């Protein structure tokens, strides 16, 4: 079985009757949503909030019921993927362009469970270009400001068109190579006018589940997350 699928299905074991569940985005979260769909069809009673239109559409086809933010203050557990995970449980997310909704949902969650294969584990964040969501107004200027933080910024394109997020914004992928202090960089980036949010998730993760092709599963718990 696929390593991402093994990790994602293991995470679904943490979901119980009555929970509000945050649904992540991407090819690993896909397997968690599929498994959750099967469990709902078997009688599990949960309500969901999704981090992207894509995940919401998938979950709805599987019969997973939704609850609006207006009716809740907290999410019990969110299961999501990541692009990089460091030994301090800090993440780079947003490879799929859903980082803003992912962060809003993660911040509202009592527990964020990250599901990955081994390729996502790194000693230091930054080899994966950091996705940054920016508003469309003045975006050229915002990109030049990002460049001053010593990254190589690239406006995300898809089929020769600028990629637009579910929130109507653009994404800039910023290659830093090595991020020495994720928290400091996170705060600096979010102070630039035009930046909505960035894909650094600093100390938000409670548990990282790592799947392997041979079926092995490793779980790492962050006691402070
Ligand atoms: C989407 C994300 C994803 O979780 C991240 O890109 C990992 O994706 P995948 O599970 O497909 O490798 O942050 O915005």
Tell me the mean pLDDT per 10 residues along the chain, length 225: 95 98 98 98 98 98 98 97 98 98 98 98 98 98 97 97 98 98 98 98 98 95 87
Distance from the CA of 80 to the center of ligand 1, in angstroms? 8
For the entire predicted model, the pTM comes to: 0.97
How high is the pLDDT of residue 167?
98
Instruction: Report which protein residue has its CA nearest ligand 1's atom 1.
Output: 96
For residue 115, the ligand 1 atom closest to its alpha carbon is 10
pLDDT of residue 1: 74
User: Which protein residues touch ligand 1 with a CB less than 6 Å away?
Assistant: 24-29, 80-83, 93-99, 102
Q: Are strands 75-80 and 109-117 parallel, antiparallel or unpaired?
A: parallel
pLDDT at 108: 98
pLDDT value of residue 106: 98
- Residue partners of 118: CB distance under 8 A and separation at least 6: 3, 210, 212
Give the Cα separation of 133 and 139 in Å (integer).
Answer: 10
Contact 59, 39 (CB under 8 A): no
Contacts of 68 (CB under 8 A, 6+ apart): none
- Cα of 28 vs centre of ligand 1, distance in Å, is 7
What does the DSSP assignment read for 97-110? S-HHHHHHHHHTEE
Look at residue 109 in the predicted model and tell me its pLDDT: 98
- Residue-level pLDDT at 224: 80
Q: How far apart are CA 208 and CA 67, in angstroms?
A: 26
CB-based contact 194:137 (threshold 8 Å): yes
């Amino acid at each position: 079985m696929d390593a991402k699928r093994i990790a994602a299905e293991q995470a679904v074991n943490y979901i119980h009757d009555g929970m509000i569940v945050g649904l992540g985005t991407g090819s690993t979260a896909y397997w968690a949503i599929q498994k959750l769909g099967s469990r709902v069809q078997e009688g599990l009673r949960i309500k969901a909030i999704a981090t992207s239109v894509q995940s919401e559409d998938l979950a709805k086809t599987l019969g997973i019921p939704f609850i609006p933010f207006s009716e809740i203050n907290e999410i019990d557990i969110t299961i999501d993927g990541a692009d990089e995970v460091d030994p301090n449980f800090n993440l780079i997310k947003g490879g799929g362009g859903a980082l803003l909704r992912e962060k809003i949902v993660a911040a509202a969650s009592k527990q964020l469970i990250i599901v990955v294969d081994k390729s996502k584990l790194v000693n230091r964040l930054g080899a994966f270009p950091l996705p940054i969501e920016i508003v469309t107004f003045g975006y050229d200027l915002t990109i030049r400001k990002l460049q001053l933080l010593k990254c190589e910024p690239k406006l995300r394109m898809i089929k020769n068109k600028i990629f637009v997020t579910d929130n109507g914004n653009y994404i800039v992928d910023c290659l830093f190579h090595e991020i020495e202090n994720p928290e400091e960089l996170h705060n600096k980036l979010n102070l630039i006018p035009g930046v909505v949010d960035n894909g650094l998730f600093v100390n938000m993760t409670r548990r990282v589940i790592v799947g392997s092709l041979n079926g092995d599963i490793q779980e790492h718990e962050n006691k402070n997350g």
